[in-house]
Amino acid sequence: MYRLGQKEIDEVSKVIKAKKMLRMGDPKTGHLQEANRFEKEWAQTIGVKYALLISGGGTAGLMAGLAGMGIGPGDEVIVPGYTFMATASAVLMVGAIPVIAEINETMTLDPRDMEKKIGPKTKAVIPVHMRGIPSDMQQITALARKHNIKVLEDCCQADGGSFKGKRLGSWGQAGAYSFNDYKIMSSGEGGAMVTNDNKIYQRAAIFSDSGTNFRQYVGDYTVPIFLGLQFRATEIMGAILRMQLQRLPGMLADLRRIRSRFMTELSGKPGIRFAPSNDTKGDCGVVVTFQHDSEKEARAFAAAKGVGGGLPIDSGKHVYCNWDPILKHRIGHHPGMNPYRMPLNKGLRLNYTRNMCPRTLDILKRTVFISLNPDWTEAQVRTQIEACRKAGASL
């Protein structure tokens, strides 16, 4: 749903003409510093000290955040049951165990269930701002402080969103973003991790560059250098994303304007009920969320002429009961590297069932999303709203 055009083409051309695509290089030799510049601009946008651009996507961004926090075998991390499987797989890929919690009607992590799920081995929670909808970061961060656990925000579907005027990703100890092809900003694939914590940043940077110990800048590092993976960003990504960032305010303004039209014009109409929101102003406006009393009603509304709605229960990969590799403990390329078999994870909550979060499944069956397009014309918006009004009235 991102916008893309000449600006990106021009900036990528400059990188190619400079023949300097590796992110490391000396500006005196014509290196454009696109990845570095994007990181500075992204940190400034989010309102944090550090941003790390990562080629491995939001998944690697989440992994870098967890690695930065020192999370690994022996630790449990709470994730909501409604998110892309990558949120939970990032936890497993650093050797820790995901504990799955309920969402509430806002479509984000239920703080009450989160608190219930905190156990003696819980080290962190990952609230997910699904479909650009902000989680209740006030309650989540307060509970995390109370129980002394860390917060890593999964902002992969919410690039640029905010909660109570503060950008998503800046509420927790760290935040992760995705720039894959389905997101608000995109470089095809890619992601980022942000934090205010210098140690988390250093460890995340080390984790994402397998050659860290050979870099000159490590002279300034204060944490021990360990062997990491290779998620270094390219200059091409940096160049594209700097332009995507310039488009972000316009994208969000258009999405929010269209969402607000739906909310105002359909509010109180028969058969129409919007999902409650933790912060409607900070919502990215990617979707309008309708809720119904039953799945039958939701399906009738979604399928009505011109509505084009979808039920999140049908989205497969975003619903925990479809995360087969996790439910069946098939993790990694070698049994010895499977967190469910690691001695340090013995005694943690390793087992899942397909109906372990019944409230989440119930909500996902009664909810209808309409995905918004920032480039819809006025006539398209009006037609779409009218289709929803008719569909609600006919229920």
Ligand X SMILES: Cc1ncc(COP(=O)(O)O)c(C=O)c1O
Please say which residue, 157 or 277, places its beta carbon nearer to ligand X. Answer: 157
Q: Are 84 and 317 in contact (CB under 8 A)?
A: yes
Please say which residue, 191 or 282, places its beta carbon nearer to ligand X. Answer: 191
Q: Does 57 bind ligand X (CB under 6 A)?
A: yes
Please say which residue, 61 or 392, places its beta carbon nearer to ligand X. Answer: 61
Please say which residue, 32 or 128, places its beta carbon nearer to ligand X. Answer: 128
Please say which residue, 84 or 323, places its beta carbon nearer to ligand X. Answer: 84
Rounded to an integer, what distance in angstroms lies between the CA atom of residue 360 and that of residue 104?
Answer: 7
> What minimum distance in Å lies between the beta carbon of 87 and ligand X?
5
Contact region for ligand X (CB under 6 A) — 68-76, 84-92, 132-140, 164-172?
84-92
Write out the binding residues for ligand X, residues 143-172 only, by CB under 6 A.
154, 156-157
Q: Of 59, 173, 244, 360, which lies in the binding site for ligand X, with binding defined by CB under 6 A?
A: 59
Q: Of 35, 97, 128, 236, which lies in the binding site for ligand X, with binding defined by CB under 6 A?
A: 128
Q: Are 339 and 348 in contact (CB under 8 A)?
A: no
Write out the binding residues for ligand X, residues 169-228 only, by CB under 6 A.
178, 180, 191
What's the token pair of residue 153?
């925000």
Write out the binding residues for ligand X, residues 87-116 only, by CB under 6 A.
87
Q: Are 191 and 156 in contact (CB under 8 A)?
A: yes
Size of the site for ligand X (CB under 6 A): 14
Contact region for ligand X (CB under 6 A) — 42-50, 82-90, 97-105, 361-369?
82-90
Determine the length of the chain. 395
Tokens 């800048």 sit on residue: 217
Q: Does 339 bind ligand X (CB under 6 A)?
A: no
Contact region for ligand X (CB under 6 A) — 51-59, 70-78, 140-148, 163-171?
51-59
Give SS3 for 170: coil
Q: Of 36, 55, 83, 104, which lies in the binding site for ligand X, with binding defined by CB under 6 A?
A: 83
Q: What is the DSSP string of 100-137?
A: EE-B-TTSSB-HHHHHHH--TTEEEE--B-GGGPPP-H
Rounded to an integer, what distance in angstroms lies between the CA atom of residue 345 and that of residue 319?
Answer: 24
> What minimum distance in Å lies between the beta carbon of 383 and ligand X?
29
Rounded to an integer, what distance in angstroms lies between the CA atom of residue 337 and that of residue 328?
Answer: 15
Please say which residue, 83 or 212, places its beta carbon nearer to ligand X. Answer: 83
Amino acid code (one letter) for 126? I
What's the token pair of residue 156?
């992969």
Give the DSSP letter of residue 22: B
Q: Does 81 bind ligand X (CB under 6 A)?
A: no
Among residues 152, 131, 155, the alpha carbon closest in space to that of 140 is found at 152
Q: Are 98 and 357 in contact (CB under 8 A)?
A: no
Please say which residue, 56 or 74, places its beta carbon nearer to ligand X. Answer: 56
Q: How far is CA 99 from CA 58, 123, 306, in A?
A: 20, 11, 39
> What minimum distance in Å lies between the beta carbon of 83 and ligand X?
5
> What minimum distance in Å lies between the beta carbon of 84 and ligand X?
4
Instruction: Enumerate binding residues for ligand X (CB under 6 A).
Output: 57-59, 83-84, 86-87, 128, 154, 156-157, 178, 180, 191
